[in-house]
Amino acid sequence: MTTAIGVVMTEHIVAGRLEDHKPVGTPVCFPADLSEVDALGSLPGGEIVEILASQIVDLAARGEKPVEAIGVAVPGIVRHGVVEDSPNLTQLKGMHLGQELAQVLAERGITAPVHIANDADAIAAGVAATRGQLNKLTRVWTIGNGIGYGRWPYVEGVWEGGHITVTLDPKERFCGCGGVGHLEGIMGYRAMRLRFLDKEPEEVFAAAKNGDERCRDFVDLWHRALAAATASFIHLAGPGRFYFTGHNVGFLQLDLLRAHLETMVKMSPLISFSLEVLPPDDNTALIGAGVSALRALTW
């Protein structure tokens, strides 16, 4: 029986103990109210490490079998345990998170190896694991404060799909990284709040359904942007199934997305793509973080 701890850090932190790739017991959360958006934004990086360590120590003590690996999924560019950049959690930029967390855990008696992964990649791993498809290409878009693109199996690369350029309009400057024309600058929750200073994103989508022309135009742009990014990955890596999940996946209208995609993908070998919405589920991400950490032991 394999034992791991999976941790996911997005708008909040959720950690759980896994046995044979399945969650056991009750996960631990910070903050307690998971509906609180952007709760981590004001916390220093060192404090986040302490929160992570406390959660992991709690979970490690819940079972008799020692933990074999610890997987932590975070947003941003993550390579070799270093968070090279994280536009939505800027305090993590440059942190050697794997090393720092492992050191704090060692001081508390836990020596299991720590693996740091991108949060969207962890969700892709979790989707693949829960469907028994760890040997197949799995691609996931996560829709929340930021926009993540995850894929499994892991291959070396940056894969910051949320920052793919989907428009040449120089006025599109709402992305948190400062880049012009990015997908996240259109679809990201924070970007939408900056664009519509008079409405919350939920109000924008509601107004669009009620016929507000400005909001309807934006909702169409939102879906065209996601279709453009998805079409780009289809043209690069081929067709297949794309999954969509995240805190704001409820904004997604699959029929509208598919209609736009069909105007962008025309070559016959590439049109066999499929789209599936998954409700937000921390367990999937936890499983993926744990699976990624266990697989990393063999790399």
Please write the tens of the pLDDT for every residue from 217-253. 999 999 999 999 999 999 999 999 999 999 899 999 9
Q: Would you give per-residue pLDDT tens digits along the chain (299 residues)?
A: 789 999 998 878 999 999 988 899 999 999 877 666 667 878 999 999 999 999 999 999 998 889 999 999 998 899 999 999 998 788 999 999 999 999 999 999 999 999 999 999 999 999 999 999 998 999 999 998 889 999 999 888 888 999 999 999 999 999 988 999 999 999 999 999 999 999 999 999 999 999 999 999 999 999 999 999 999 999 999 999 999 999 899 999 999 999 999 999 999 999 999 999 999 888 899 999 999 999 998 86
My answer on whether omega of the bond before 153 falls inside 30° of 0, hence cis, is yes
User: Are residues 162 and 90 part of one domain?
Assistant: no
Which residues have CB under 8 Å from 33's CB, separation 6+?
Answer: none
The boundaries of the domain holding residue 287 are: 3-123+281-296
* Element of type H or E holding 17: strand 13-19
Establish if 129 belongs to a structural domain: no
User: Are residues 287 and 195 part of one domain?
Assistant: no
Per-residue model confidence (pLDDT) at position 157: 83
Per-residue model confidence (pLDDT) at position 197: 92
Can you count the helices (H) and strands (E) in the chain? 9, 11
Which residues have CB under 8 Å from 42's CB, separation 6+?
Answer: none
Per-residue model confidence (pLDDT) at position 164: 97
pTM across the whole model: 0.89
User: Are residues 269 and 148 part of one domain?
Assistant: yes
Q: Is 201 helix (H, G, I), strand (E, B) or coil?
A: helix
User: Are residues 163 and 110 part of one domain?
Assistant: no
User: Are residues 244 and 170 part of one domain?
Assistant: yes
CATH, residue 147 = 3.30.420.40
User: Are residues 258 and 154 part of one domain?
Assistant: yes
Residue 225 tokens, joined: 């942007």
User: Are residues 288 and 261 part of one domain?
Assistant: no
Per-residue model confidence (pLDDT) at position 220: 98
> Do the Cβ atoms of 243 and 279 come closer than 8 Å?
no
Establish if 128 belongs to a structural domain: no
Per-residue model confidence (pLDDT) at position 200: 97
Establish if 130 belongs to a structural domain: no
> Do the Cβ atoms of 70 and 7 come closer than 8 Å?
yes
User: Are residues 82 and 165 part of one domain?
Assistant: no
User: Are residues 270 and 205 part of one domain?
Assistant: yes
Per-residue model confidence (pLDDT) at position 280: 87
